[in-house]
Structure 1
Amino acid sequence: MNHQPFERAAIVGASGGIGRALCLALAERGTQVWALSRSATTDWPAGIDPLRFDLEDENSIARAAETMRDAPPQLVVVCTGALTLADGTGPERSYRQLDGAAMAEAFRINTIGPALIAKHLLPLLPRDQRTVFAALSARVGSIADNRLGGWHSYRASKAALNMLVRNFAIELARTHREASVVALHPGTVDTGLSEPFQANLPSGQLTAPPEAAHHLLNVIDGLTPAESGKAFDWKGEEIPS
């Protein structure tokens, strides 16, 4: 089932490859877009309004939410996340490489940050119309689908995010009967997150951000409250928990 385009959307992490592509794709549909990023860049076309926020500063998330209160989004997509940390620390290949500080940082970015965004943005969603809250996750966050191991902090932080999505879906359904809360796996997209791991990818597996945005919006378009709490890949196929 495909629905009418949303009137307003909030894209969190709008300066990243997927976030920016989503902002532009939604604006082309006629959706008014709040573009949240740390830089709050102003080089956006008409219909996209930048908002500054910092994933490390909950007060900044609260201020951004307050700015949107009079024109709340019906769609929120959280595009923040990190596979390689700012200091160059990459995903662990063995438990011998585990480091408490690096693991805490991965959870702060991939789990705690999106949770705090949900804390402040879920209350903005209108109760009397179709709404969607989506967080970009990863297939490697699936416990049932894990056959290779490794990447401990990234896998665990995304699995925790998927659990939070399920929790939020259950709670939101009590007040927002038309809401869908989901985790979305965008595939392997040509962004800074995947860049260190692109060399060994099979031909055709790497997706450009505009194409990834198109796929994700197609999945979002077809969501109903019956899918709330689940994780889906870019093709719309459910990912096991």
Structure 2
Amino acid sequence: MTPAQTKISLPTSFLLASTLCAALTACGGGGDSTPAATTTPTTPAAASFAGCFEITEGVAYTVTDPGGVPDGVRMAKETFEGAVRNAAVEFTDATTVRSNATYWSQDANGTRLLGGILYDANGNAIAKAVRSDGFTLPLTMQAGDSKTLNYTEVTTVLAGASAGHTETASWQETWTFEGYETVTLAGKTFTDACRVKTLDADAAANGDGPSTLWFAKGFGIIRALHTNSAGATVEDIKVETITAQP
């Protein structure tokens, strides 16, 4: 499942797909032409942008896969680049076979989206992407704030004849925090989810439009809506069933 842009493999994975897929020429995608209604964001005093990126270890759920069986996701703490990080692990068709894992951390400088690992059909790690610290979101973003992120991403092939091969790419994205929403999915009401719009600098040239992501405290990305340059929905991926909620 590879959304159209924002270089993510959703639902909770911020970081992977396009660069890894380019390196391995092994990724595909699905489509969903049905637009979905959204509500108007509000700005409650108790909510915080940084809080939307906090996770609850052990939370698990399934998400829409436009091409087939819903995929599983689990929030975890795992080692990545020498330290224990927040992790969103995705599983193929809600099995126990990993398809990707993405990592991020928070400190005084902000929420840093670090990179991730891509796995083959048997759950073996085949590529790793590591992003520079240019992909850091301020902790104190307020509704209406935008941040242009300029960063590099180094992709390393981990298996096969090309193991050890690296590729470096430079990216620019603008993230706009549109505000807070109360979103109900899978019978659960997520209060004060952060709605964020993202746009790649090269989106128009590729026929892409903005993506809208909803982040919920404890759960990561609970919904991702991708559009093309004409404003039509390309994919709308969302939580379908919550399977664990510690």
Give TM-score scaled by structure 1 length: 0.30
More helix as a share of residues? 1
More strand as a share of residues? 2
Give TM-score scaled by structure 2 length: 0.30
